[in-house]
Amino acid sequence: MPDLWMPGAEIHDLGDHAPTDQQYPPKAIAHITWDRNATATAPQDWCTFDDLVNYFTTSGAGSAPHLIWDPFSGRVAQLFPADSRSKSVVDSPGGTRTNRAGRVVIQIEAVFFPYCRKDGVVYPRLVDTPCAGWDRLHAWISSWGVPDTWPMGHPTDFTSHRNEQVWETQGGWYAHAHVPENDHTDPGSWPDFTAPTSAPVPSEDDMPLTDADVDRVAQRVVYLLAQASAGQPPNGADDNLTWLINWYHQCSQSSMGAVLDYKLGAAGVASLAQKIDAAPAAVAQALASGITLTVNTNPKGA
């Protein structure tokens, strides 16, 4: 089962969990917080991530999403687990249950409004920001089976396109402007699924995997698969390793780099490296057994 809480997210569990409607396909809903009304001739200062976290965990809890995403720093706060509904779209009595119509309905609020000004730079659209952390956020949502498609079209402006039949029957990504029973027109833009992202220099604990790190992880996976094929339980396999084996079978090669990156991080890679270094003979024997593994050695999948 994928992680209920996004690895690396700042957890602010609101409680009040409630199930989604499992008969519908999995979805994600893209929002922007749109805190202020700015224009090209009158930009306004960006509202901070911490301000929005404070709002959605106090007076704004009644409209809280699963995730609050800072596209400038990459910080993410999570308020509900993936298998619960959240509350960021209007759900009118008697119609489709907009917050629940999917095996998951994961809602993301990007902390952004058009023509916000941060550090002296004005950003007309969300996609004009660094979109830091988008790769990790996207990888986690993909792990819940949300397909990389926009059934009502990739948002490129602030116009509405709503169809309840499409909403109920097709999984994928939806803009708030696409959700039935709602009148909001955000987010106006959203990063591409495969677009590379630029980000601030990460801290040591958040460094992306190097090619050498990925090779070492691959060797460890080969070793564990060799043990499993011989009917031997993996010695000392921790949760990260068990997860990695499962995802080796389930993830496409194009996404493996991002999945390894967001799940393991530098600390996880160091732990794996220690295990590999402690058993070089076993690793060599596993590699010699003929079991092969292809891994995308670009950690960001770019």
Do 216 and 257 fall into the same domain? yes
**CB of 217 within 8 A of CB of 263?**
no
Do 152 and 211 fall into the same domain? no
Is residue 199 a part of any domain in this protein?
A: no
Query: What secondary structure does DSSP assign to 21-70, as a single string?
Result: -TTS--EEEEEE---S---SSS-EEPPPHHHHHHHHTTTTGGG--SEEE-
Is residue 294 a part of any domain in this protein?
A: no
Do 146 and 221 fall into the same domain? no
Closest by Cα among 145, 148, 153, 147 to 175: 153
**CB of 187 within 8 A of CB of 155?**
yes
pLDDT in tens, 25-60: 999 999 999 999 999 999 999 999 999 999 999 999
CATH of the domain at 35: 3.40.80
Residues of the chain short of pLDDT 50, as ranges, are 195-206, 229-231, 233-266, 269, 276, 279-284, 286-302
Do 17 and 163 fall into the same domain? yes
Do 61 and 168 fall into the same domain? yes
Do 156 and 17 fall into the same domain? yes
Stated as kind and residue range, the H or E segment containing 78 is strand 76-78
Task: Tokens for 35, please give them.
Answer: 């805190």
Domain-terminating residue out of 160, 178, 196: 178
Is residue 215 a part of any domain in this protein?
A: yes
pLDDT in tens, 146-194: 999 999 999 999 988 888 899 889 999 999 998 988 888 889 999 999 6
> Token match 């092969």: residue?
292
What is the distance between the terminal CA atoms of the chain, rounded to a whole angstrom?
26
Full domain range(s) for residue 103? 10-178
- Total tally of structural domains belonging to the chain: 2
Do 43 and 150 fall into the same domain? yes
Is residue 276 a part of any domain in this protein?
A: yes
Domain-terminating residue out of 178, 194, 225: 178
Q: Does the model's pTM come out above 0.85?
A: no
The answer to whether the Cα torsion of 84, 87, 93, 94 is positive or negative is negative
Domain-terminating residue out of 128, 163, 178: 178
Q: Is 19 helix (H, G, I), strand (E, B) or coil?
A: strand
Do 247 and 282 fall into the same domain? yes
